[in-house]
Amino acid sequence: MQLANKKWALDEFMAQRQAVLSAWPTGEEVDLQEGMAYQRGIPNGQRFVTRLKEAKASQVTLVQPRAGVPLVADHLALLKHLETEGEADLLPTTIDSYTRLNRYEEAQRGIEESKATGKAMLNGFPAVNHGVKGCRMVTSALSTPVQVRHGTPDARLLCEITLAGGFTSFEGGGISYNIPYAKNATLQETIHNWQYCDRLTGLYEENGISINREPFGPLTGTLVPPCISNSVAVIEALLAAEQGVKNITVGYGQCGNLVQDVAALKSLESTVEAYLARFGYDGVTVTTVLHQWMGGFPQDEAKAFAVICWGSAVAALAKATKVIVKSPHEALGVPTREANAAGLRATKQTIMMLADQKMADGAALEEEIAVIDAETRQILERTLELGDGDIALGTVRAFEAGVIDVPFAPSRYNLGKIMPARDNEGAVRLLGVGMLPLTEAQKKFHQEKIAQRGRHENRGVSFQMVIDDIYAISKGRLVGRPR
Amino acid sequence: MQLANKKWALDEFMAQRQAVLSAWPTGEEVDLQEGMAYQRGIPNGQRFVTRLKEAKASQVTLVQPRAGVPLVADHLALLKHLETEGEADLLPTTIDSYTRLNRYEEAQRGIEESKATGKAMLNGFPAVNHGVKGCRMVTSALSTPVQVRHGTPDARLLCEITLAGGFTSFEGGGISYNIPYAKNATLQETIHNWQYCDRLTGLYEENGISINREPFGPLTGTLVPPCISNSVAVIEALLAAEQGVKNITVGYGQCGNLVQDVAALKSLESTVEAYLARFGYDGVTVTTVLHQWMGGFPQDEAKAFAVICWGSAVAALAKATKVIVKSPHEALGVPTREANAAGLRATKQTIMMLADQKMADGAALEEEIAVIDAETRQILERTLELGDGDIALGTVRAFEAGVIDVPFAPSRYNLGKIMPARDNEGAVRLLGVGMLPLTEAQKKFHQEKIAQRGRHENRGVSFQMVIDDIYAISKGRLVGRPR
Amino acid sequence: MDRKTIILGVIGADVHAVGNQILNYAFMDAGFRVVNLGVMVSQEEFIEAAIESAADAIVVSSLYGHGELDCQGFRDKCDEAGLKGILLYVGGNIVVGKQPFAQVEERFRQMGFDRVFGPGTSPEEGIHALKEDLGVT
Amino acid sequence: MDRKTIILGVIGADVHAVGNQILNYAFMDAGFRVVNLGVMVSQEEFIEAAIESAADAIVVSSLYGHGELDCQGFRDKCDEAGLKGILLYVGGNIVVGKQPFAQVEERFRQMGFDRVFGPGTSPEEGIHALKEDLGVT
Ligand code: B12
Ligand code: B12
């Protein structure tokens, strides 16, 4: 198999399908025609795509939690709670970590032990084990559209089951669900497997059923420079579009500096649109999502609310199409439904107070957008070059070469040479640029920004800064100043 | 007595003093020399003025709660809790409503009933009844500076007792503690009585003891247009400076639109400084305070946190010297100490995440500053004219004429002709300009802004808009859109 | 329709004027004759106004927390003044702090109030209750 | 000084890599010899590495919530492999959700862990405990 960003022939796709569906007994429940018929029965207002398009048009930011528990009835009750008490505009179904690694037997053990102990023993909803029927029990009982959110390097079976199961959006991508979520999976493998998911989504699309796809923007959630996450988003958008996906939500994890965050989101949207246009993918609707702070949270709930609300404010000021919400329990564990709903309500209040306001343009914002635009293009152009024009192939080679490099990633296929740190205003910059294909001027810009902080803090630039920055928000501030 | 903004002769002040001190038995405890000696013993680090100057220099926003309960021991325990668990930078002592109206007998009843029932039966700390000794028991036991916060039209005795009692800051003013806090008190009377407080503060100052004074910025806390509250702040700063006050914190109650709020605070600071300079008051240190949303709060605590955090963000972005904090119990009643501390921690987290960021300059901000600057000057110049150059006299006449007019004020000496409403971005504008001395262009600006909202909402401009705006934040948004 | 008359005001040393202005507007809008005494109203002033205008109900607001002290003996004073059985409502943030509403309601009922409304009650609820109790359709 | 050897890793299907990298740095900085297995480490891998490097302690992290499932039988496996009495720590967000820590600690102690650390424990606390338990001064 030679990886290429090329639409799969239908029979190539179908040839794989049998193996995919037979990986676990519930695979048998999937029948493509019947699944499509079922999806056609879902009213428009309950589809992800409809809500996102409306929101984009009216410039309102929608609010979406993360949530998943092991048993169907509990999961449904949880989502209903978030719908009514949390005022969620969009709902999730967060998948447990065994399912994410295709360890369905362990997931089964988790289900059994959860039943036996009456405690949730899995950190999410094992959708494959519950099968198409279990999924439909959930999606059909809600008036809010539901998305699958996970972190699965090989999500083919999960995608088959959940799309047939009535979910109208599917998160993930061959890079964003590999590098931060796996250790040993090659990019060849995961990009290939995600082409399957995109092809499946495209197939639904060709049959008149619009399913939303969402690359996972925040990656490791920890000091990821915007040029890195935006590059990955562009690539995954291109990969999805090639397979026929028409509705893509690109994401970004809040870094904490207002100007940088708004700039990153603006740059993200325009860069994705520009590359889609350049490669001739017409008729793709691009929306955006901001993830509230994805790194370590403060344990104190009042302080956690502050982190949540600041993320909400950024989402609203940047006019993101939706925002993914944290809970005041974030630092401690999977939230109770009450804590989850509280995070949602705090977010909703912030969003609505800012609904009619936006970040004012200005020189600082323009400059920051220009910085991110330029760096992202540098990375993407070098990636295309490495792939001899093919973005899929280029991506594999770019990661090998460290042309794309995600900080703190567990994957052995990520070079791990760059080192991010905050500048004196809290924007995420590069203390070490690793092998990123930046110009000398760009490298100097980062160096100077961090040196400036060093001078202000009266200390040399070092790894201690990075450590301080990693802890900073959980300890009550943005920039990890020396104690 | 002819009111004038003129420094009181010492014997004029002393002549009044006896009557003031004899209004309640605890007045006898006050001895000016002894009080000054006591104040001199307070270490610098525990003085308000020191902390404010440091904060101003380092551009950090300090965090301060409201808090007061009837009994000394409970009050001290409450403040200690807010110091340790709330991480407060500055502490308050909020005075109960009977004391504010000099009803010391009723306050005494409240103290007795609180002791008897074990429940707080007063909404604050009755400092006059507790006397100099009671006050010192509080202020001496804390390492954080403490301010008197109240709403007292005639605060002469309260000021005498609390300054001798070791408080290093005193809130209020002859306008800001009359118009929103009284029904029948004339401005002649209250401005005169506050000249007493300022003269007393000035006397301490002349003796080397720097006490901070803070006009109450938010007035009625409900849709007050910045030009009104800023005009009042300028006037009270001038009145205080004339009596010898050297350290003034001018305040502003958050309206909710980011650009307007930052602009208002910037305009406030520079306008106050400009007028102080114009009238030759040198060596006055001006600092600023932003009050988190002062109108009706949402009952839900998660939503209340959102309102609190958004206010904190505005304070930090505007680089206010301090921020006055609400609690998640705001809509329900005087907060428990835990709720109060939670509000503080949420505020602290937000402030610290934004400590190194500021609102970027830009055209929108500049324009808004220019609007507020110009309107405020219009009002102040007309006020000076009305007073034949005397700002004290002018103020009395300006309120009579509606040249200064505070919305929703209980005072019968306030004309009550203006009607504020939000524009389409949530900035507070004037639906009815009443008798404000604005130019035709300025009036048109407001009209047009509100008409724009009307068009957007597809409804005529009416009082219903105002009602909708009053409820808006408590119902989850900023602009009161039609339901 | 015979219009019912209501005395409206904020009791005690309380200056919270915003809710009062809205209640005034809403009650008039709902067809009542409203005598609005504004803020800082004493029990005596309420009673005087009720006698003078032959009122059908007295609607007391208290926001600032001293409601429990300010309302003590109100019903007795009404009785003494010859307003026996007059409809007496109270609403707002009527006690200090966040307290279980059922207990608060009970205490004010004991004091002789016919209806007790908690924080943030909408004017509509008040109007609905008044119409019911005064037999307005 | 004879340097103590520690096996470090994140158990199960858990990919949380940040805390692991910091612990690695901090333990080395504190003078330990650290064999860092990174994330997604099975019980078998921990044990193999401990045998291979004659380790003094195994420090298990679990962040993602499946800690309770992943750690079952770990002590027995150690015993079987000849690592009787090896120091066994676990820390992180080791159960699903916010649970009373005393109960969680008890459950993991029952499973044979010598020390159990709750969410957000600082590396310093871990180092302090290791030094105490391994007699390092
Ligand atoms: C960043 C993050 C991610 C990133 C991780 C990127 C990466 N590959 O590293 C991403 C986004 C990929 C991610 C994914 C998931 N995550 Co996550 N994640 C976090 C988050 C926000 C921060 C973790 C972190 O980096 N902290 C900073 C480091 C420095 O701190 P630390 O990890 O706690 O480690 C320190 C201490 O715990 C201690 N320590 C750790 N081990 C030990 C051991 C000993 C002996 C001692 C003494 C000390 C010690 O020392 C470390 C250094 O200081 C936490 C919540 C939080 N803490 O705020 C959730 C959290 C850990 N994640 C959680 C979950 C559920 C998941 C997912 C299943 C679902 C999801 N949300 O997508 C997946 C799991 C994937 C998988 N298979 O593991 C949950 C776990 C829930 C629970 N236990 O009940 C948490 C708590 C969030 C929550 N409240 O729901 N996550
Ligand atoms: C704005 C405000 C102020 C302004 C008032 C300006 C003015 N003159 O009007 C200022 C800043 C001056 C102020 C001062 C004080 N305030 Co104040 N204030 C508020 C605030 C934030 C909003 C009030 C408001 O206007 N709401 C909007 C209107 C529309 O709603 P409303 O007043 O609740 O009225 C509605 C309903 O309650 C209902 N209703 C009212 N009465 C009745 C009666 C019946 C029968 C029915 C059916 C319905 C009903 O209908 C009204 C219309 O919808 C509230 C907290 C909150 N609610 O968020 C605190 C609050 C009322 N204030 C409080 C306090 C303690 C004070 C002060 C003592 C101290 C201080 N914080 O400075 C002083 C008191 C001065 C005095 N002597 O009265 C406390 C009361 C505490 C308690 N009860 O336990 C509150 C609850 C804040 C708090 N949590 O501490 N305040």
pLDDT 10s digits, B347-379: 999 999 999 998 888 899 999 999 999 999 999
- CB-side neighbour CA atoms (13 Å) of B444: 3
Cβ distance A416 to A445 under 8 Å? Answer: no
Distance A447 CA to ligand 1 centre (A): 30
pLDDT of residue B2: 84
Alpha-carbon distance of A368 to A374, in angstroms, equals: 10
- Neighbours of B, requiring at least 3 CB pairs below 8 Å, are A, C
Decide which of C97 and B400 is more confident: B400
Q: Which residue of A has its CA nearest to D38?
A: A410
Find where tokens 């001190």 sit: B21
Alpha-carbon distance of B10 to A170, in angstroms, equals: 78
| Contact: C120, B331; criterion CB under 8 Å | yes
Picking from B136, B65, B76, B67, the residue whose alpha carbon sits closest to that of residue B96 is B67
Is residue A93 within 6 Å of ligand 1 at its C-beta? no
Alpha-carbon distance of A426 to A244, in angstroms, equals: 39
Give pLDDT tens digits for D7-62.
999 999 999 999 999 999 999 999 999 999 999 999 999 999 999 999 999 999 99
Which helix (DSSP H) or strand (DSSP E) does residue A288 occupy?
strand A285-291
Give pLDDT tens digits for B281-339.
999 999 999 999 999 999 999 999 999 999 999 999 999 999 999 999 999 999 999 99
Tokens of A116: 């036996």
* Strand spans (E) along B242-284: 247-253
Local structure of C78: helix, strand or coil? helix
Cβ distance B235 to B292 under 8 Å? Answer: no
The beta-carbon neighbor of B333 closest among C13, C69, C95 is: C95
**Alpha-carbon Rg of chain A, whole angstroms?**
21
- For residue A447, with 0-12 CB atoms within 10 Å meaning exposed, 13-18 middle and 19 or more buried, which class applies? middle
Q: What is the 3-state secondary structure (H, E, C) of B357-378?
A: CCCCCCHHHHHHHHHHHHHHHH
Q: Where are the alpha helices (DSSP H) in chain C?
A: 18-29, 43-52, 67-71, 74-80, 101-110, 123-134
What backbone phi and psi angles, to 5 degrees, belong to A146? -125, 140
Provide the shortest C-alpha distance from residue A259 to chain B (in Å).
Answer: 8
* Helix, strand, coil percentages, rounded to 5, for chain D: 40, 20, 40
Report, as an integer, the average pLDDT of B217-244: 98
pLDDT classification of B1: cutoffs 50, 70, 90: low
Cβ distance B122 to B112 under 8 Å? Answer: no
Tokens of A354: 């800012």
Is residue D12 within 6 Å of ligand 1 at its C-beta? no
Alpha-carbon distance of D67 to D60, in angstroms, equals: 9
The residues facing A432 across adjacent strands are A419
- For residue B336, with 0-12 CB atoms within 10 Å meaning exposed, 13-18 middle and 19 or more buried, which class applies? middle
Taking 50 as the pLDDT cut, the residues of chain C under it are: none
- Is D128 known to be catalytic? no
Find where tokens 């990919």 sit: D15
Alpha-carbon distance of A363 to A350, in angstroms, equals: 26
Q: From edge to edge, which strands make up the β-sheet containing C87-92?
A: C33-36, C5-10, C57-62, C87-92, C115-117
ipTM of the complex: 0.96
pLDDT of residue B157: 98
pLDDT classification of D2: cutoffs 50, 70, 90: confident
Please give the C-alpha separations between residue C83 and each of B189, B390, C46, D8, in angstroms, as whole numbers. 38, 52, 11, 82
* Strand spans (E) along A44-178: 62-64, 91-94, 146-149, 169-171
Q: Residue C116's CB: how many other CB atoms inside 10 A? A: 20
- CB-side neighbour CA atoms (13 Å) of D48: 6
- For residue B66, with 0-12 CB atoms within 10 Å meaning exposed, 13-18 middle and 19 or more buried, which class applies? buried
**Closest ligand, as measured to the CA of B94:** 2
CA angle C73, C75, C78 (to 5 degrees): 110
Alpha-carbon distance of A50 to A58, in angstroms, equals: 12
Tokens of A182: 């796996």
Give pLDDT tens digits for B56-65.
999 999 999 9
Picking from D124, D102, D118, the residue whose alpha carbon sits closest to that of residue D67 is D118
Please list the active-site residues of C: 14, 16
Q: Residue A398's CB: how many other CB atoms inside 10 A? A: 29
Residue A119 Cα to chain centre, angstroms: 28
Residues in the ligand 2 pocket, defined by CB under 6 Å: B 66, 94, 97, 100, 123, 151, 180-181, 220-222, 294-297, 329-331, 333-334, 408, 410, 470; C 13-19, 22-23, 59, 61, 63-65, 89-93, 96-97, 117, 120-121, 123, 125-126
**Closest ligand, as measured to the CA of C120:** 2
- CB-side neighbour CA atoms (13 Å) of B106: 19
Alpha-carbon distance of C20 to C36, in angstroms, equals: 8
Concatenate the DSSP letters of all residues of B380-422 into one string.
Answer: HHHHHHHTTT-HHHHHHHHHHHTSS--TT---TTS----EEEE
Is residue D64 within 6 Å of ligand 1 at its C-beta? yes
Please give the domain boundaries of chain C with CATH numbers for all domains: 5-134 (3.40.50.280)
- pLDDT per residue, tens digit, chain A (483 aa), is 689 999 999 999 999 999 999 999 999 999 999 999 999 999 999 999 999 999 999 999 999 999 999 999 999 999 999 999 999 999 999 999 999 999 999 999 999 999 999 989 999 999 999 999 999 999 999 999 999 999 999 999 999 999 999 999 999 999 999 999 999 999 999 999 999 999 999 999 999 999 999 999 999 999 999 999 999 999 999 999 999 999 999 999 999 999 999 999 999 999 999 999 999 999 999 999 999 999 999 999 999 999 999 999 999 999 999 999 999 999 999 999 999 999 999 999 999 999 999 888 889 999 999 999 999 999 999 999 999 999 999 999 999 999 999 999 999 999 999 999 999 999 999 999 999 999 999 999 999 999 999 999 999 998 999 999 999 999 999 999 998
- CB-side neighbour CA atoms (13 Å) of B174: 30
Alpha-carbon distance of C48 to A194, in angstroms, equals: 80
Q: From edge to edge, which strands make up the β-sheet containing A285-291?
A: A62-64, A322-324, A285-291, A247-253, A212-214, A169-171, A146-149, A91-94
Cβ distance B148 to B127 under 8 Å? Answer: yes
| Contact: A349, B306; criterion CB under 8 Å | yes
For the full predicted model, state whether its pTM sits above 0.80: yes
Give pLDDT tens digits for C82-114.
999 999 999 999 998 889 999 999 999 999 999
Local structure of C116: helix, strand or coil? strand
What backbone phi and psi angles, to 5 degrees, belong to D118? -85, 180
Q: Which residue of C has its CA nearest to B70?
A: C96
Local structure of B438: helix, strand or coil? coil
The residues facing C41 across adjacent strands are C11
Concatenate the DSSP letters of all residues of B155-198 into one string.
Answer: -HHHHHHHHHTT--EEE--TTTTTTTT-SS--HHHHHHHHHHHH
Alpha-carbon distance of A363 to B363, in angstroms, equals: 10
Report, as an integer, the average pLDDT of B146-169: 98
Distance D63 CA to ligand 1 centre (A): 5
Q: From edge to edge, which strands make up the β-sheet containing B146-149?
A: B62-64, B322-324, B285-291, B247-253, B212-214, B169-171, B146-149, B91-94
Is residue D117 within 6 Å of ligand 1 at its C-beta? yes
Tokens of D78: 């150690």
- Neighbours of A, requiring at least 3 CB pairs below 8 Å, are B, D
pLDDT of residue A1: 60
When the pLDDT of each residue in chain B is averaged and rounded to a whole number, the result is 97
Please give the C-alpha separations between residue B201 and each of B39, B131, B157, B173, B245, in angstroms, as whole numbers. 12, 18, 13, 12, 6
Find where tokens 């301080």 sit: A468
